[in-house]
Amino acid sequence: MTSADSSKALADDAPRYELEPTDRIFTVGRIAFLIGFGLFATFWVWALFFASKEAVNKIDDREWAARAEVICAPVRQQFRELDLRRSEDLNLRAELVEEGTALLSQMLDNMMVIPPSDPKGAEIVPLWIADYESLLERRLEYANELRAGIDEPFAEPVAPGTSIPVTEKLETFAGDNEMPSCAPPRAGVLDLRG
C-alpha cells in the first residue's frame, strides 16, 4: 500500500463535518426582525405621505390671527424702545418690567375684543391667554424682587400640565398661527445677563 493509498484510506475513515440541511428557514429571530422592519417602514410611509401636516395649535379663524399680528407688532416695537432704556439700577429695571407687562396686558385685552369665531380657536385661545397671564404675573413678581434688591435672573414659570417653559408654549402657538409678534419678548429689560 502506498502512502497515497493510506492517506486516501484515512481520509475515507475520517468523520465528515458537513452542514446538515435545515427545515427552519424562518426562525423566531428572523420573524421578529421582519415584523419590526415592516412596522418601521409602515410608520414612515404613514408619517411622510398620510399624516396631517397641519400644526396642532393652528386655529381656523385666519382673520383673528391676522388682526392679532397687527395688534402685537407695535407692542414689539415698544419693547425695543424699553430695551434702549435698560439700566443696572434695580428700581429702574423694575419700572421697565412693569411698563412692559402693562403693554403685554393691554395687547392681550385688545386681541380678545373680538374673539376667534371658529370652535378650535374659541377653545384654545383662552388657554393661550391664560398661559400668557401666568407669565405676566411672574413678571410682576420679578419687578417686586428687583425693588427688594434681589438681582437674580428672571425665572419664567412652567406651562401648566407640562415641564416646558411657558414662553416656549406661547411662542409655538404664535408661530403656528403666523403671528410672530405676539410671542413673548425674551430677556431684554428683564435680565441684563440675557
21 pLDDT exceeds 70? no
Within-domain flag for 57: no
Could you tell me if 110 and 67 lie in one domain?
Answer: yes
Within-domain flag for 126: yes
Within-domain flag for 165: yes
Within-domain flag for 56: no
| pLDDT tens for each residue of 109-140 | 999 999 999 999 999 999 999 999 999 999 99
**pLDDT for res 161:** 82
The model's confidence at residue 2, banded by pLDDT at 50, 70 and 90, is low
Domains in the chain, number: 2
Within-domain flag for 149: yes
Could you tell me if 178 and 131 lie in one domain?
Answer: yes
Could you tell me if 70 and 24 lie in one domain?
Answer: no
Could you tell me if 103 and 171 lie in one domain?
Answer: yes
Could you tell me if 96 and 183 lie in one domain?
Answer: yes
DSSP output for the chain:
--HHHHHHHHHHHSPP--PPP-S-SS-HHHHHHHHHHHHHHHHHHHHHHTS--S-TT--S-HHHHHHHHHHHHHHHHHHHHHHHT--S-HHHHHHHHHHHHHHHHHHHHHHTSS---SHHHHHHHHHHHHHHHHHHHHHHHHHHHHHTT------PPBPTTSSSBHHHHHHHHHHHTT-GGGSPPPSGGG-TT-
Could you tell me if 9 and 68 lie in one domain?
Answer: no
Could you tell me if 124 and 153 lie in one domain?
Answer: yes
- Domain span at 13: 5-49
Q: What is the pTM of this model?
A: 0.71
Within-domain flag for 10: yes
